[in-house]
Amino acid sequence: MSTPPPVANWFQNGFHSFLRPFLKRHFHTVAVHSESSVVLGEIGPGPLIVFGNHPSWWDPLIAHLLCRRVFAPRQFYAPIDAAALEQYQVFRKLGFFGIELNSKRGAAEFLKTSTSILQAPRTSLWLTPEGRFADSRDRDATLMPGLAHLCSRMPAGGMAVAMALEYVFWEERLPECLVRFGPVIHCDQHADLDKPAWHALLTDSLRVTQDLLATDSVARSSAPFTPLLSGKRGAGSSYDSFRRLRATLTGGRFRAEHGRKFH
């Protein structure tokens, strides 16, 4: 049996020491829908696939943060274009593995490496099966067949969870990153499904999760969300300095947020 790609724990720890302040500089908050806590509570120790939409460049960094904060102690793994990995080889130490896109050899290598990851303890495989960047409200992309293939051959106790991501501007200068997880799919309970049925089940789970997150995003309310990370607040250093001075002179209370705080 092949083994998962090697990772360096010391390097990952250092990376997350950089990642948290980096995300804080670029986001007002990274927040997970509160109902997701029920979903996450149902996840057992077995093999896990997290599959999501792919709206932006930020997705792999957000996924790495979520894996450490929400799915610990599972090790993060995710495929990446082999050419891109050659350019950014540092990602190898973080659980990314290269695949050749749009080739039979690349597909075979993806399945081989993914299978080795799912057979190892305390791992999680993060996939963006749309295979391209797509707007958060775009529902036209067909999921690539590798996800259904992996789920149909998942080891005992294997699970799959849909993840929806949106990056939105509400009342603050910086954007909010909103996350919602769909119901846990226990693969053992669907062992009788063929590949087309698996494809339909997985597609429906992702699209429903996206639709639920879109409804909350349009509502522009922080109430349903729990922040994992809170970043910079206010309009900026110069303007906020003026606001702070004005509050002091008038006896008022300075509040950096323009809108309501996340709970």
Is the peptide bond preceding residue 175 cis, with omega within 30 degrees of 0? Answer: no
The pLDDT score that the predictor gives to residue 72 is: 92
The pLDDT score that the predictor gives to residue 172 is: 93
Low-confidence ranges of the chain (pLDDT < 50): 239-243, 245, 247, 249, 254
The pLDDT score that the predictor gives to residue 232 is: 73
> Where, residue-wise, is CATH 3.40.1130 in the chain?
9-232
The pLDDT score that the predictor gives to residue 243 is: 42
| CATH number of the structural domain 9-232 | 3.40.1130
Is the peptide bond preceding residue 73 cis, with omega within 30 degrees of 0? Answer: yes
Element (H, E) at 185: strand 185-186
Is residue 131 within 8 Å of 114, Cβ to Cβ? no
The pLDDT score that the predictor gives to residue 241 is: 45
Q: Average pLDDT over the chain, rounded to whole?
A: 89
- Tell me the whole-structure pTM to 2 decimals: 0.88
- The structure tokens listed for 170 are 């509400």
Give just the sign of the alpha carbon dihedral 90, 94, 100, 105: positive
